Structure 1
Amino acid sequence: MTDYAQEQQDEIEAIQSIYPEEYEEISTDPTCFSVFVQTEDYEDDTDVGAACTLQFTYTPTYPDEVPLVEITNYENITDEDDVEELQQLLLQQAEENVGMVMVFTLVSALQDLLHERIEKKKEEEEQIRSRKKEQEEAAEMARFEGTRVNIETFMSWKQKFDEERRLQKEKKVDTTIKLGKLTGKELFMRDVTLNESDIQFLDDGEDEGVTIDESLFEDLDDLDIED
């Protein structure tokens, strides 16, 4: 005949020695205790790692039947689907180990499951960061590439460019006029009367006569000038 009480007591002593800080006694009748389970990278009061409390209540014929198992106090596991999946997987592990003491097995299995969930969460976050980075890089490349050129876009650009050049030239001419800084050519083109100024000067010279100083030629005979 199986001595269930002795098997249960022996397992509790083993669990206390393996998890001295994580073990907590809740009651002796029925026998109920909890084990704090955490991932290796877990840090209290941070979002690093994950943890929870695994509570066991022995039935009178445990380990020949599944004990009452409850997962509480989740740390960094807020998704309800993850919580439900952990509970189902843990129950499956318990049923597979009926007939043997199983607290250590269930604690280890839960620890592995928590680790898997954390790694999955890290991968998802990394994928999100990677997609965001790719989108930012694509946007930056598009900014440098600008609009792809075809006949329609080129003609549209050239029309705008020519119009801007024309407006700039008109603005430059108007500014020059306002400042009174026309070039000689611009003055000539704008005032046609200027092309008669030299002729007027010559005509004025004929009317008044040209005075010649004859004394300048008196000593020409003394110069040795060849014919």
Structure 2
Amino acid sequence: MTDYREEQCNEIEALESIYPDELTVVSNHPYCFKITISSQNDDDDTENASCVLQFCLPAKYPDEAPVVEVEEYDNIEDSYITDLTDFIKEQAEENLGEVMVFTLVSAVQERLTDLVEAAERERVEEIERKEKEKHAAEQKKFEGTVVTIETFLAWKAKFTAEMEELKRKRGEIKKECSKLSGRELFMTDNTLDDSDVKFLEAEGGDPVEVDESLFQDLDDLGLDDELGEDFD
């Protein structure tokens, strides 16, 4: 007849020697204890994943599977805990009839290590993907627009239309100007209205007062006839 109690006691003693800092006994009747498990990664810059498993051994353990719960965890997604719990149950069913705590702890530790390594690979791949996208965007700036027959013909048609419109506007301006006399052209240019005053201000530095009465009799000088002759 199997002495389950003695077998369980021997396993607890072996586990305490293997995990002196990680194992904490919660109860002796029945045996309940906690073990802290951390992933094992070679990269010091990578943050490890860890969890605390609580084992409670039923009276007929190891012929009956232990009750295992994930009580605490760090650097593990919440959604992964359900998968991890199911994995532990599967491993326990496969090892019925044999003491299995060490086997379960080792399997979980390996699982956590794989999880961290997969997360690190995804992180590196994401960085590389962003770098490639950035490089491709920078290269595209120097490529310019690819010219095809269709795009060239469209550009040529637009350019020709713009040139025709420019010629038409120039022709209208030239035609309009040919109808004006020299006097009319002169009178339409108002840029010279204040030119003399501005010149005198620039020379002396002080505003120039103009006596408008000096110009009241200009009509008697017959300038209109002479200007008309010069500009016609």
Q: TM-score, normalised by structure 2?
A: 0.62
In the TM superposition, what are the counterparts of 1:1-227 in structure 2 within 5 Å? 1-41=1-41, 48-80=47-79, 82-151=80-149, 153=151, 156=155, 159=159
Larger deviation, residues 120-129 vs 57-66: 120-129
1:151 and 1:58 mapped to 2: Cα distance? 80
1:79 and 1:141 mapped to 2: Cα distance? 41
2:31 and 2:6 mapped to 1: Cα distance? 12
Shift of 1:87: 1.0
Contact in 2 for aligned 1:37/1:107 (Cα 8 Å): yes
Q: 1:33 is aligned with what amino acid?
A: F
Query: Are the structure 2 counterparts of residues 119 and 54 from structure 1 closer, same or farther at C-alpha, using a change threshold of 3 Å?
Result: same
Unaligned residue ranges in structure 2 (runs of 5+): 167-232
Unaligned residue ranges in structure 1 (runs of 5+): 167-227
Shift of 1:42: 9.4
Query: Are the structure 2 counterparts of residues 70 and 19 from structure 1 closer, same or farther at C-alpha, using a change threshold of 3 Å?
Result: same
Contact in 2 for aligned 1:47/1:76 (Cα 8 Å): no
1:138 and 1:86 mapped to 2: Cα distance? 40
1:79 and 1:87 mapped to 2: Cα distance? 12
Instruction: Report SS of the residue matched to 1:25.
Output: strand
2:117 and 2:40 mapped to 1: Cα distance? 12
CA deviation vs aligned residue, 1:107-143 (integer Å, no higher than 9, x gap) = 0000011011111111222222222122111111111
User: Which entry has the higher C-alpha Rg, 1 or 2?
Assistant: 1
1:96 and 1:35 mapped to 2: Cα distance? 21
1:131 and 1:49 mapped to 2: Cα distance? 24
What is the total number of aligned residue pairs between the two structures?
160
Shift of 1:18: 0.3
Shift of 1:151: 4.5
Larger deviation, residues 123-132 vs 140-149: 123-132
Contact in 2 for aligned 1:42/1:49 (Cα 8 Å): no
Shift of 1:71: 1.4
Q: 1:59 is aligned with what amino acid?
A: P
Shift of 1:47: 6.8
CA deviation vs aligned residue, 1:167-201 (integer Å, no higher than 9, x gap) = xxxxxxxxxxxxxxxxxxxxxxxxxxxxxxxxxxx
Q: TM-score, normalised by structure 1?
A: 0.64
Contact in 1 for aligned 2:41/2:117 (Cα 8 Å): no
2:136 and 2:125 mapped to 1: Cα distance? 16
Shift of 1:37: 0.3
Q: 1:34 is aligned with what amino acid?
A: K
Larger deviation, residues 151-160 vs 140-149: 151-160
Contact in 2 for aligned 1:30/1:57 (Cα 8 Å): yes
The match for 1:190 is: none
Q: 1:2 is aligned with what amino acid?
A: T
Superposed structure 1 runs of 4+ greater than 4 Å apart: 151-155, 157-160
Shift of 1:152: 5.5
